[in-house]
A and B are shown apart, each in its own frame.
Chain A
Amino acid sequence: DVKVTQSSRYLVKRTGEKVFLECVQDMDHENMFWYRQDPGLGLRLIYFSYDVKMKEKGDIPEGYSVSREKKERFSLILESASTNQTSMYLCASSCSGCSNTGELFFGEGSRLTVL
């Protein structure tokens, strides 16, 4: 069964802390994505990557960075967490050039609270 695994389901951090959210997929997908989900705003794309060591800004990249050193792993980094980054973070992956183009496979989410 295909799987996207996010390392932490719930995190509580303090303002100014550096936060790492890890995501691993076992489907050999080229594309990986980080979204944040907020009530009334839906899903907003933070960063994405179409290949190892490649990254592209999404719609709301400010305050975030990412790392993709290996194909299966895509990390989201909050360099200095702020309270407005309290949110649910969703990682997703997809296959390039596949017949099911556009189908994203999501992890269960990481709920981050910044105090």
Chain B
Amino acid sequence: GNSVTQMEGPVTLSEEAFLTINCTYTATGYPSLFWYVQYPGEGLQLLLKATKADDKGSNKGFEATYRKETTSFHLEKGSVQVSDSAVYFCALTGGGNKLTFGTGTQLKVEL
């Protein structure tokens, strides 16, 4: 079956630091890949997505590239802000509308 593996957190960074959160997946066929973000006290919201190999999703300064050869979809941001503190979830759908989520990575950004 489908599965998503994320790096464990929490990840603590200073403001303006470079961020990478690793995500690898196992799936049959050609899944679409997603990053969702959950800010404190809120539900999840879509951050970015990629639907085919070599696609790059981007939003709010975050980027992730769909790498089929390494089955990865790592999230990156060049310069994080305190307001980026949240829990980040990698997810995939292999068709239909069901998503499989990773365990989430908490990011804390300090001044």
User: Out of B32, B42, B43, B45, which one reaches A102, CB within 8 Å?
Assistant: B32
Cβ-defined contact, B97 with A106, below 8 A: no
In the complex, B49 has a CB within 8 A of chain A: yes
In the complex, A48 has a CB within 8 A of chain B: yes
Cβ-defined contact, A103 with B89, below 8 A: no
Chain A, residues 3-45, CB within 8 Å of chain B (1/0): the string is 0100000000000000000000000000101010000111111
| Interface residue range, chain B | 20 to 34
Assuming the A-B contacts A31-B97, A102-B93, A108-B41, are A41 and B103 also in contact, with contact meaning beta carbons closer than 8 angstroms in the complex?
yes
Cβ-defined contact, A40 with B103, below 8 A: yes
In the complex, A90 has a CB within 8 A of chain B: yes
Nearest Cβ on chain A to B11's Cβ, whole angstroms: 15
Cα A2 to Cα B43 in complex, Å, equals 13
Interface set of B (CB-CB < 8 Å, partner A): 32, 34, 36, 41-46, 49, 51, 89, 93, 97-99, 101-104
Interface set of A (CB-CB < 8 Å, partner B): 4, 31, 33, 35, 40-45, 48, 50, 58, 90, 92, 94, 96, 101-104, 106-109
